Amino acid sequence: MTTEIIPLGTASAIPTRDRHLSAVALVRGGRTLLFDCGEGTQLQMIRAGVKPMRLQAVFISHFHGDHFYGLFGLLATLALLKRSHALTVVGPQGIADLVGRIPGLEPEWLPYPVDFVEMAPTMSKAIVLESSEYRVEARPLEHREFAAGFRFEEKRRPGRLRLERAHELGVKDYVDFRLLKQGKAVTSGGRRVEPDEVLDAPPPPASFAYVGDTRPCEAGEVLARGVDLLYHEATFGSEMADRARETGHSTAAEAARIAARSGARRLLIGHFSARYDDPARLVEEARVVFKNTDAADELKRYPLQAVEPAAGERPVAQPDAHRGEQ
């Protein structure tokens, strides 16, 4: 199944002629997860060919306007399009009440249900969305107010069934085929057949981390651990390091250090201050620390491709018990 990351907005605080406000779409098999929803996001979705009716969930990182003012218009558009199936909206505590106070977005008016998942300021981590195929985890970052980062990770799927080999071992029943695909041994013709005898190696699960407004922090590193693609804010260059600390943001070099320490495969930086007409200097700064860095290009589609790491190549995402929490 093809999965793509599409930056829709890479500006910080205010839009520019060439940049829109924060939003990143993850499109998987035609279905979309949207991370942040700054003003104008729905127009960018149209330009990117992302169908709003195929939207499954919106993840709002925090209550700064450049990250969520576009949510209200998007919800209204979905109503005008006669959406009837539920939409999940994940956000900080209070988001359900906030949306419900907007004229036209009251629950009794919307033609579709909105399932709100609220993140408390005291949250240490939470699985905020889970399906049979993937999960999305949230952790609190370090910003001027509560802000969360997110990690999308596919669940490991079973390997492809080698049907000819199964037949050779006497397996004929489709029920047994299904059990083998589930990783369960079967007995056929008096012979026990183990899954690893008839299954190819399972494909590696793809992973993506969205680390928005934040200072470099442990939670951001944990979310990014071993991901195939990390989107991390890089509002400033190193010459503005003091300003980054004052405003709760990261420099390009700091984002690169998170990517390097977490073992991410690729880094996209975004959320650029309007003072940088061209982010090339920020990319150059980041590449000194982490070579596989690019500036997120709005509307460009970045394939999310998982590659099984060689032994010792990068850390495997796992409970960080040595840090005192998972």
- DSSP string for 56-67: EEEE---S-HHH
Asked if 66 is an active-site residue, the reply is: yes
The parts of the chain modelled with pLDDT lower than 50 are: 314-326
Q: pLDDT at position 314, please? A: 47
pLDDT tens per residue, range 126-176? 999 999 999 999 999 999 999 999 999 999 877 677 788 778 777 887 787
- Please report whether residue 258 resides in a domain: yes
Same domain, 140 and 209: yes
**Domain end: 198, 218, 247, which one?**
198
For residues 320 and 82, what is the distance between their CA atoms, to the nearest angstrom? 44
Question: What local confidence, expressed as pLDDT, does residue 170 receive?
Answer: 79
Residues 192 and 208 in one domain: no
Same domain, 130 and 228: yes
In a domain, 312, yes or no: no
Is residue 121, in this structure, part of any structural domain at all?
yes
pLDDT at site 321: 33
Same domain? 30 vs 134: yes
- Which range of residues forms the domain containing residue 152? 3-157+203-307
- Structural domain total, the chain: 2
pLDDT in the model for residue 310:
55
**219 and 247 assigned to the same domain:** yes
Q: Active-site residue among 36, 66, 176, 228?
A: 66
77 & 170 share domain: no
Kindly state whether residues 220 and 302 are assigned to the same domain: yes
Asked if 95 and 182 sit in the same domain, the reply is: no
Query: Is 27 strand, coil or helix?
Result: strand
For residue 32, being part of any structural domain is answered with yes
Both ends of the chain: CA-CA distance in Å?
29
pLDDT digits over 74-86, tens only? 999 999 999 999 9
Residue 325 lies in a domain: no
pLDDT given at position 307: 76
CB contact at 8 A, 304 and 24: no
The answer to whether residues 253 and 140 belong to one domain is: yes
pLDDT in tens, 269-297: 999 999 999 999 999 999 999 999 999 99
**b/e sequence 184-215, b meaning 16+ C-beta within 10 Å:** eebeeeeeebebeebbeeeeebbbbbbbbbbb
Are 51 and 121 contained in the same domain?
Answer: yes
**Same-domain check for residues 193 and 227:** no
Closest CA relative to residue 5, chosen from 306, 307, 296: 296
33 plus 171 within the same structural domain: no
